[in-house]
């Protein structure tokens, strides 16, 4: 994390422990392809959500790409999946905007009961 005095912001980058092996599930393992694809998607999304500075984000994505290559992922699959994640993140509205625009239901009352056997039935009826 660095302080950006020009923009009066904190520049956050993707953190990896110094002891990290920089390896993922090997692409040639006997796991289903959806698992391997989701590893690429989830890690890419983590970098996108964490790193706000565009230059640093590109550096982190390149590091991530190299980590996948070390784990025998096909280069085309990596690039295609990462590109799709980047496009999806650009098309999604800011999470803060969503929270501000969402109408919160009015809470009329709250009832807190201790757990006792059979309480699930009462809970369903009260809901």
What's the pLDDT score for residue 15?
80
Domain residue spans of the chain: 2-95
DSSP string over 78-113: HHHHHHHHHHHHHHSPPHHHHHHHSPPPPP------
**pLDDT computed for residue 40 by the predictor:** 96
Tell me the pTM.
0.65
- pLDDT at position 95 is 54
pLDDT 10s per residue in the chain (127 long)? 555 556 666 667 778 888 888 899 999 999 999 999 999 999 999 999 888 788 889 999 999 999 999 999 999 999 999 999 999 988 876 555 555 566 666 767 676 767 777 777 777 777 6
What is the three-class DSSP state of 28? Answer: coil
């Amino acid at each position: 994390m660095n302080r950006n005095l020009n923009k009066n912001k904190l520049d956050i980058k993707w953190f990896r422990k110094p002891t990290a092996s920089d390896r993922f599930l090997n692409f040639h393992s006997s796991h289903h392809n959806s698992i391997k694809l989701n590893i690429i998607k989830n890690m890419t999304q983590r970098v996108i959500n964490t790193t706000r500075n565009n230059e640093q984000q590109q550096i982190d994505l390149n590091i991530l790409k190299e980590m996948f290559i070390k784990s025998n992922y096909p280069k085309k699959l990596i690039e295609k999946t990462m590109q799709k994640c980047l496009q999806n993140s650009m098309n999604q509205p800011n999470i803060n905007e969503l929270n501000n625009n969402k109408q919160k239901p009015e809470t009329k009352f709250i009832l807190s009961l201790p757990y006792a056997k059979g309480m699930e039935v009462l809970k369903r009826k009260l809901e």
